[in-house]
Structures are given as C-alpha cells and as structure tokens.
C-alpha cells in the first residue's frame, strides 16, 4: 500500500520545518525522503513521515544536537531511546543551574565591591595521598569530581588508611588557559607502617598498595609541598573566580609568583549540603616582608 507522497513544500507546511532544514536533515541522514527523483532530484515525503518530523522538531526545540537526535531515532528499543532523551534533559538541567548561578553571581558582582580577600601565606608540607589524576575540561570538571570523590572514599575504606587532611585538588596553570589539562584530586593519608615508604618509593610503587584495585584509577601518590598565598572562598563554586582574581592581584602586587599548580582545599568536606568553603592556594616564593 503506497502511502501518499508529498512535495517538500507541502511537507514543510505540515510539519512547520523549513525547506532548508528538511534538506539539511536529508543531507545528514536524519530524515530521508521516501523517494528522490533520480532525474530532477525532487524529494518526496510520505505522510507517515510527519510524526517522525514532529519528533525531530521537538527535540530540536529542546536544543538537542542532530547527532543525538539520530541516536534517538535509531535507538534499538524504548530503553535506549529514553536514555538518550533523559541524558539530554539532564544536560539541560545542569545548564539551567549554571544560568541561575550566573544570574545571582552577576547580581552580587554588580552590587557588591570586589571582595578584599583576606590572604595568608602558608607553607604546605608534602604529603602522601590517595589520588586520581586525569585530563579533564573545565566543563566536565564538576561531574568528574563527583565520581572521583566516590572512588577516593571507596579507596579509603578498602585500604583502611587514615585520613590526614582535607580533600584537595591540583590545577596546572593551563587548565584555566586552555580549559583542559591533567587535574589531580587527592586526600592525604597516614600510611600504615608496613606500607610507609619514602616519597620516592611511593612514586615508584604507584598502585602497589594492599586494598587498591589494580585496574582502578586511584593511586597512592606523593603530593609535593609548596609555599602559597591562600584565600578562602565562601560561596558558590561558580563564583570562585572572584577569589582567584583577588588572590592573583595580591600575589602580583606583593609577592613573587612561582611555577606549580594552583591548588584548592575543601576543609568542610564535600557534600550536597550547600556550597563548601574552598581554600585557594597560589604558589609563591616568600620574601621577608610577608
């Protein structure tokens, strides 16, 4: 039974998709016309393609990229289809949260003066830590950090190591400059006596710790010490750049910045209960005046 065929113009009027969009969807294989005249190139659409076209229109209205739409349309079953869609809705939700944070952050920025960060200089000792290091982008950092925290918490239990300080993270300079670099999240531990090793030994024996799964990404690592100018950021994570700005200004004015990753510590722990405080540590070379 041949279904009624429609010209691209008729099909456009019926679906409220522009002719240009329909041709594009053909080009990228998202909505192939039922027939294409081999001589003239004229496209013909079937009446049964109206519903798929309407689905496409709504997914585009949701801001879903064409690649994801293709995945939805070609999903082998309802579960896979729903996964694609809910994944996208979650992405949108995260974006909405970011937008809301930007609104309130902007209000704060325009109404309040720049926070004159209270800055202290601190000597941070080297420690042994359970750590995960991976190349991530700024955009992916929050989601990645959540996973890593779960892994580190699991590793603490598995190894029985005692926590020796707050969770922290190392950000190489180019993480902010390129929006992508190898970030380390760590939790300092007191190694049990039988696993206590020199820093060198630790680096050499990465992963060779009882309780750490061999294939996992958590490693027992040496986190180097540093001298740093430290400011506490008390507020939403999205506004941490204000503290970076205030801290960087002071360092540029009054101290000698040195190489080495910027680090953050989370002294309140990291839970879902409101924004935790963040200690931002900017490596410096201390002079007598500090």
Partner DNA sequence: TTGCTCCTCACGTCACGTGAGGTGGC
Could you list the residues that contact a copy of itself (CB under 8 A)? Answer: 4, 6, 9-10, 12-16, 18-20, 47, 50-51, 53-55, 57-59, 61-63, 85, 89, 92, 96, 98-99, 101-103, 105-106, 109-110, 114, 138, 173, 176-179, 238, 240-242, 244-249, 252-253, 257, 262
Q: 135 or 150, CB closer to DNA?
A: 135
> What CA–CA distance (Å, rounded) separates 158 from 219?
13
CB 225 to a copy of itself: min, Å: 21
> What CA–CA distance (Å, rounded) separates 240 from 138?
13
173 binds DNA (CB under 7 A): yes
116 binds DNA (CB under 7 A): no
Element (H, E) at 122: strand 119-124
* Residue 150 interacts with which of DNA, a copy of itself, none, CB < 5 to 8 Å by class: none
Contact 163, 187 (CB under 8 A): yes
Site string for DNA, 6-45 (x = CB under 7 A): -xxxx-------xxxx-xxx-----------x-xxxxx--
Which residues make Cβ contacts (< 8 Å) with residue 131, sequence separation at least 6? 152, 184, 185, 186, 187, 218, 219, 220, 221, 223
83 binds DNA (CB under 7 A): no
Q: 173 or 269, CB closer to DNA?
A: 173
Tokens of 266: 């989370």
Which residues make Cβ contacts (< 8 Å) with residue 109, sequence separation at least 6? 242
């Amino acid at each position: 039974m041949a279904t009624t065929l429609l010209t691209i113009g008729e099909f456009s009027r019926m679906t409220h998709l522009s002719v240009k969009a329909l041709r594009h969807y053909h080009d990228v294989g998202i909505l192939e016309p039922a027939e294409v005249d081999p001589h003239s190139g004229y496209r013909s659409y079937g009446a049964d393609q109206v519903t798929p076209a309407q689905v496409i229109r709504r997914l585009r209205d949701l801001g879903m990229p064409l690649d994801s739409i293709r995945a939805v349309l070609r999903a082998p079953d309802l579960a896979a289809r729903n996964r694609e869609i809910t994944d996208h809705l979650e992405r949108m939700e995260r974006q909405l949260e970011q937008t809301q944070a930007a609104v309130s952050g902007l209000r704060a920025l325009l109404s309040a003066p720049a926070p004159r960060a209270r800055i202290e200089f601190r000597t941070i000792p080297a420690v042994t830590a359970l750590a995960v290091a991976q190349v991530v982008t700024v955009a992916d950092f929050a989601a990645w950090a959540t996973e890593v925290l779960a892994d580190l918490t699991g590793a603490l239990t598995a190894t029985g190591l005692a926590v020796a300080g707050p969770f922290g993270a190392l950000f190489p300079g180019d993480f902010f400059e390129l929006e992508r670099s190898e970030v380390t999240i760590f939790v300092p531990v007191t190694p049990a006596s039988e696993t206590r090793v020199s820093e060198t030994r630790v680096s050499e024996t990465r992963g060779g710790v009882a309780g750490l799964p061999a294939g996992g990404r958590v490693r027992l690592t040496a986190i180097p010490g540093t001298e740093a100018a430290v400011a506490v950021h008390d507020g939403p994570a999205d506004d941490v750049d204000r503290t970076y700005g205030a801290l960087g200004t002071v360092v540029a004015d009054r101290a000698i910045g040195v190489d080495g990753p910027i680090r953050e510590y989370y002294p309140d722990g990291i839970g879902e209960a409101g924004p935790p405080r963040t200690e931002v540590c900017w490596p410096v070379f201390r002079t007598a005046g500090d």
